[in-house]
Chain A
Amino acid sequence: QSALTQPRSVSGSPGQSVTISCTGTNSDVGGYNYVSWYQQHPGTAPKLMISDVHKRPSGVSDRFSGSKSGDTASLTISGLQADDEADYYCCSYGGGNTPILFGGGTKLTVL
């Protein structure tokens, strides 16, 4: 199975909103409500931001929200802040021989 497809980069100004997409197939993103999003700052381990498509773990700002339509999941970050600048990865359950897939990652730049 191929990695999930994400835009390589997105950008926004402080206070604005950005949305990062994650496109898979009906065998992964579209087939299950198991999509997570991770934030990774340089030199650190990823941090869980969204689970089960839209659930925010305790401690994650409500500026982060997740959704899904068909085979595409999305992460929206509202009220952009400088510290949001990071790489973001989607992750989906996919069944099959490789049941867990990551997206290629999206670099968010806060202008």
Chain B
Amino acid sequence: QVQLVQSGAEVKKPGASVRVSCKASGFTGYFIHWIRQAPGQGLEWMGWINPYNGVTNYAQNFQGRVTMTSDTSINTFYMELSRLRPDDTAIYFCARSYSNIDYDYWGRGALVTVSS
């Protein structure tokens, strides 16, 4: 059965980094996308990673601050965001893409709170 299990909530101070994990089960070989949602706000696409070769594509807004990686040996994906700001407070979702922009399975989300 397909599942994406994400790591738990995090509280970070401004300027710090956070790494969110997303363990996939029941499948291999699909692109994984990261999408975030600030409290009461809409969805914002952050980027994707190709698990076959580790190639990534990041949204312009996050370039230089985000790093997406994967560990194929344990079918786990990671999203690290650095130089955190209070407006990075959001739920961070990982999602499986089966075609282009079609996300058929999502993780439950990981809340990252950035506060001094």
> Which residues of A are at the interface with B, using a C-beta cutoff of 8 A?
1, 3, 34, 36, 38, 45-46, 48, 51-52, 57, 89, 91-93, 97-105
Contact = CB atoms under 8 A, between A and B. Distances in A.
Given A45-B93, A45-B108, A98-B60, A105 B43 contact: yes
Contacts of A105: 42-43
A102 B42 contact: yes
B101 A91 contact: yes
B45 interface: yes
A97 B60 contact: yes
B44 interface: yes
B108 to A, nearest CB: 6
Contacts of B57: 99
Contacts of B101: 34, 36, 51, 91-93, 100
